[in-house]
Amino acid sequence: MIDHALSSLGAQVVLATSCDEKHPPENIIDGNIETFWISTGMFPQEFIIRFAESMKISLVTLHSYNVKTLKIEKSISDDATDFEPISEKQLEHIEGHLQTTDIPLNGLTVTHLRFIVTSGFDHFVSVHRISIE
């Protein structure tokens, strides 16, 4: 199953370290690649997605720009605590193109996913869409 808007499944962004009111973190889960969340300076940056109920996930796909290193953590608690690292990625920069990153999760069950951008190819990074399978 590929969902097009995580928000339509009841997912929410419960925390984000940056907020430009014109480019809010909800843009990450609205299924639209044209809308985005942008960081407003300094690293690390992070955001946490909460699912409506615990989900079995085999693949996370992230569309972003200027992200250099990304860490992903999961939680199975109800209140976004006890995160455990599940993946760390070095992304490539392609001038003028969005980065598409697949992160296989082998059917992990989660209630929250936390994305931490520890460095960027620029002062500002953007995340356009996250989809899961």
Partner 1 sequence: MVKLRARCLLVGDPAVGKSALCHMFRSDGAHFQKNYSMTAGVELLVKSISIPETRDSVELYIFDSAGRETFVEACEKLWGQPSVLCLVFDVSSEPSFTSCGRWLERVRAHCPDSHIPGVLVGNKSDLSSRREVETSVALEWAQSQGLEYCETSTKEMENCEAPFLTLAQAFHASYQDRLQTIQNLT
Query: Could you tell me if 37 and 23 are in contact, meaning their C-beta atoms sit under 8 angstroms apart?
Result: yes
Site stretch for partner 1 (CB under 8 A), options 5-13, 53-61, 96-104, 108-116: 96-104
Among 40, 58, 77, 109, binds partner 1 (CB under 8 A): 40
Among 29, 48, 57, 65, binds partner 1 (CB under 8 A): 65
Q: How far is the CB of 45 from partner 1 (least distance, A)?
A: 10
Query: Could you tell me if 82 and 114 are in contact, meaning their C-beta atoms sit under 8 angstroms apart?
Result: no
Report the candidate in 122, 124, 42, 46 with the shortest Cα–Cα distance to residue 85. 46
Q: How far apart are alpha carbons 32 and 46 in whole angstroms?
A: 20
End-to-end CA distance of the chain: 6
Per rule CB under 8 A, is residue 120 in the interface with partner 1? yes
Distance, CA of 73 to chain centre: 10
Per rule CB under 8 A, is residue 107 in the interface with partner 1? no
Q: Which two tokens stand for residue 57?
A: 């996930």
| Minimum CB distance to partner 1 smaller for 56 or for 93 | 93
In the complex, which residues of this chain contact partner 1 (CB under 8 A)? 18-23, 33-34, 36, 38, 40-43, 65, 68, 93, 96-98, 119-124, 126, 128
